[in-house]
Structure 1
Amino acid sequence: MPPMQLDQTDLKILKLLQTSGKLSNQELATKVGLSASPCSRRVKALEDAGYIAGYATLLSATHFDLALTAFIQVRLEKHNQEVLEQFETTVTAYDEVQECCLLTGSDADYQLKVLVKDMAHYKTFLLEKLTSNPHIRGVHSSFVLKHVKQKSIIPLPE
């Protein structure tokens, strides 16, 4: 399916939904100058075309006692498709991992953004989960001192 042609109204809808996801359809319609039905149809078309990937509520990590953010660079021993897929499947199952990116131009193969309660929980994650993978050749961890800008979904306690 060819990408839909976005007009200024579509762009305004997308900008508003990114910053104010709780807007009702009526509020959104008013802000973009449409009636409710055409606005709803546009949002549905944007969803169907893949411009809107989903909806989420951003939670405060500190309210869930998740105070430590770490960036971990991971080097693998092999770079064949099987090893890469196995690593990606394993790491995506860890609730602590907020992001996982395959890198180029670095000594690392992957960079992970990890969110945990404290250093003890980080140690448990690192030693009992991440580095139990036999294909990991090395890791390098950096810890966040201050969040300057942050937009992400956090894991909730079960």
Structure 2
Amino acid sequence: MELDQTDKKIVELLIEDGRMSYTEIGKVLQLSRVAVRARVHQLMDAGVIEKFTCVVNSEKTGKHVSAFFEVDCAPANLVEVAESLANNPVVASCYQMTGPSTLHMHVLVSDFTQLESFINEELYALEGITRVESHILLRRFKSRTGLKL
């Protein structure tokens, strides 16, 4: 689907506020509510908009430690390790990266005791991991949940 300027503006408005009504979007873009609704549904049907969600401040929910990991795996174990990690409730995101067989993941936990437990009892317990590098988040300067068009 080729996005025109109106589609791009609709997506940008929804990235800023996913609860914005079709009427409110229509006022900004000088379109009818029905026209906006039709375009949003087209964007959803085309897979441009995958889903609507809310962004939760992890610290406000007791997750005070945010850590990023680079996990190298034996190629034969990559998918199994990735699926296991992706199903772990403390793993916020998990991606396969370029490199030998590298996963990048973001983990949110309540404290360093829980982080240590995750590393020692869950991460290192997985067969096929050859190297783990971790980075603890000190301060967030920017976090974007949607694609900037």
TM above 0.5, one fold? yes
Rounded Cα–Cα distance in structure 1 between residues aligned with 2:110 and 2:21? 35
- The correspondence for 1:20, drawn from 17, 21, 32, is 17
Rounded Cα–Cα distance in structure 1 between residues aligned with 2:101 and 2:142? 24
Output the aligned Cα RMSD: 1.5
TM-score normalised to the size of structure 1? 0.85
Q: Is the 8 A contact 2:22 2:37 kept in 1?
A: yes
Tell me the residue number matched to 1:119: 112
* CA positional deviation for 1:10: 0.7
Q: Is the 8 A contact 1:13 1:28 kept in 2?
A: yes
* CA positional deviation for 1:64: 0.7
Q: Is the 8 A contact 1:58 1:151 kept in 2?
A: no
TM-score normalised to the size of structure 2? 0.90
Please show how residues 39-118 of structure 1 align to structure 2 within 5 Å. 39-76=36-73, 78-80=74-76, 83-105=77-99, 109-118=102-111
User: Alignment partner of 1:113: what SS?
Assistant: strand
Q: Is the 8 A contact 1:73 1:108 kept in 2?
A: no
Tell me: CA distance 1:7–1:151, structure 2 relative to 1, closer, same or farther (3 Å): closer
Rounded Cα–Cα distance in structure 1 between residues aligned with 2:13 and 2:28? 9
Tell me the residue number matched to 1:140: 133
Tell me: CA distance 1:88–1:108, structure 2 relative to 1, closer, same or farther (3 Å): closer
Tell me the residue number matched to 2:122: 129
Rounded Cα–Cα distance in structure 1 between residues aligned with 2:5 and 2:45? 18
After superposing on structure 2, the runs of 4+ consecutive aligned residues of structure 1 that deviate more than 2 Å are none
Rounded Cα–Cα distance in structure 2 between residues aligned with 1:149 and 1:33? 31
**Identity over aligned pairs, percent:** 29
Identify unmatched segments of 5+ residues in structure 1.
153-158
